[in-house]
Structures are given as C-alpha cells and as structure tokens.
Amino acid sequence: MVLRGAGFANLHSTSDSRMALELYLSLRPDLVLLDLQMPHIDGFGVIDQIKAADPDHFAPILVLTAEIDTAVRYRALDAGARDFLLKPFDRVEVKARIRNLLEMRLLFKQTVAHATTLEQTVAERTLELRATQMEIIHRLGRAAEYKDNETGNHIIRMSLYCEVLARAAGLDAADQEKLLRAAPMHDVGKIGIPDRILCKLGKLTAEEWEIMKTHAEIGADLLSGSRSPLIQMAQAIAWTHHEKWDGSGYPRGLRGEDIPLAGRIVAVADVFDALTSVRPYKPAWPLSDAIAELRAGAGRHFDPRLVALFCNQTAAIQRIRADYRED
C-alpha cells in the first residue's frame, strides 16, 4: 500500500521464495525488493538464482532486513544487492531509496539503448564504407580494362572465383574477403600500356609483347608503399598473377610456393574466366573444356593443389557464371 500510494505502478509480489525466480524471469522488473529472511530459500539464495539465470540483465535489488549487523549488510551488497532497508521501515526513506534505484535503472536502460543505437549506426556506416570501397576498387579495375576487350563483369566473376577458391583452400573469412576486394586490381598496370598495344586485335609482335608484360610491374609500382593490408595484397597480386608454377612466367620468373598464394589463386581464376568468356578473337569455351585446360596446366602454369580444389567447385562456379553473364 505504501508503494501504490507513492505512485509506483506494476507491482507484483510473492510470499513464496521458491516462486521468486519464476516471477522475476516472467516480469523482468525494473526493481526487486527482497526480504533476506524467508522460509525455503533465503534472500541470498534468491539473489544467487537471479544472477545465475540472468547475468546480463541489470535490475537493482533492494534488500529488506531486520539485521543491524553490518556483516549481513555487507554480505548482501557483495552478493549483488544495490541497497538495503532496515526494518521497521521509514516511509520517506523507502520512497527515496526506491526512486533512486529506479532512476539508476532508467539511466542504465538509456545507456544500453544509446549503445545499441550507436552500434547499429556504426554497423550501417561500416557496410556503407565497404560498399563504397568495393565500388571504387571495381571502378579502378574497370578503368584499367576500359580500353581492353574485357568487361566489368569479368572483374566481378574473377573476384568471386577467387573467393570460392580461397575458401576451398582453407583461408579464413578475413583473408577471403580481402582477396575478394584485392583481386579486381590485378591488371591495374594496364593503365600504363599504350593504346596501340592494349587495343590491338591481332597478335602482338615480340617487342609489343615485352611492353605488354610490363603491366605487372607497373601495377605493382602503382600499388606499392601502402600500409593497408588490402592494398599490400593487391600489390602482390598485380606483381605475381602472371608468374607460373614451373618458373616460366613473368615478370620475375618465380617458381612454386615462392609465388604468393593470392597471386596463384588469381592466376587460376583469371585464366578460367578468360577461357569461358567471349572475346573478339575467340568464342567462350564450354565449362568442361576450360576445366580440362586448367588441369592440363596444373604443375606447369598453375599450382596443382589449387587447380584440383577449383575444379571441385563447379556448382559455385556455375552460379557465378549465371549471376554475372555477359549482356
């Protein structure tokens, strides 16, 4: 009656301490008034039950006791109570202490709500930044191939093939995503290749081919010096995706596992997409023929383990081809 008369609402009670936990969990109250002296389970036992059942839910506990022994009161506070009232109660003190604890509860709820809103805002901004970053990367990749015979969908497909292969190769989720974002920059060095060579439809002369091959070093130079792990991976890819497993690739003739894993993965994905795409000088190869060509190059052009893994991902490969087919 004291509490109702003071304007407090939604009051629920039980005289059976065995029902206290069930009542608490069903109501999720903003404040718990708890008598320490109860049959069956005393107040300390109820506090322990509440803490064990709901450790993350902050509800102030106000203990009621006739004990004037400070050890009992300290024990209650140590157990998790926020305050205590001595019997017999002073009405003014009861109302003041309850209001103080309810204000504490309100501040806690407001803090949690603010933190949740802030967390959601940060998550949304992070997604926006990632989307913007990915768009910039794709546009950079497309800029490199703008005058070439390849399309924007080539960049998307090739990047997704890289992600599929990275997952199959056992890279963790962070490295899979980093490779997905770095792969579109593999041919950024083509920006530095003269149009007469880059846009030539016929076969390149030996001299022209030597110039074309410099795009790997140009790309590596453009992306060098960054402290970003993403750009560092992109730089390694630009520099090494034309290296071959047997050491016959360019620009440095790296062999086997001396070629960074990211470069080896992009080599497989890039060639596969080139084989299965239409070009002015060739039709698209059937999937089976492209897979056979990769297998033929395993141990010579490509890392044989990666080829075997990639060739076992035909379902994922087909989905990517269907989702990003050429118009």
User: Is there a cis peptide before residue 60, judged by omega within 30 degrees of 0?
Assistant: no
Q: What are phi and psi of 205, to 5 degrees?
A: -75, 170
H or E element that contains 219: helix 215-222
Angle between helices 206-213 and 215-222 (to 10 degrees): 20
Q: How far is Cα 182 from Cα 163, in angstroms, rounded to an integer? A: 11
Q: How far is Cα 242 from Cα 268, in angstroms, rounded to an integer? A: 10
Q: How far is Cα 322 from Cα 125, in angstroms, rounded to an integer? A: 31
The pair of structure tokens assigned to 231 is 């750009």
For the chain, which domains are there? 2-119 (3.40.50.2300), 145-323 (1.10.3210.10)
Q: How far is Cα 123 from Cα 318, in angstroms, rounded to an integer? A: 32
| pLDDT, tens digit (0-9, with 9 covering 90-100), for 245-254 | 999 999 999 9
Amino acid (1-letter code) at residue 169: A
Query: How many CB atoms are closer than 10 A to CB 220?
Result: 19
| pLDDT, tens digit (0-9, with 9 covering 90-100), for 106-160 | 777 787 788 888 888 888 887 777 777 666 666 666 666 655 555 568 888 999 9
Q: How far is Cα 86 from Cα 295, in angstroms, rounded to an integer? A: 83
pLDDT for residue 6 is more than 70: no
| pLDDT, tens digit (0-9, with 9 covering 90-100), for 51-92 | 777 776 667 777 777 766 777 777 777 767 777 777 777 777
Query: How many CB atoms are closer than 10 A to CB 271?
Result: 19
Contact 21, 53 (CB under 8 A): yes
Residue 218's contacts (CB-CB under 8 Å, 6 or more residues apart) are 189, 190, 191, 192, 193
Q: What are phi and psi of 197, to 5 degrees?
A: -95, -45
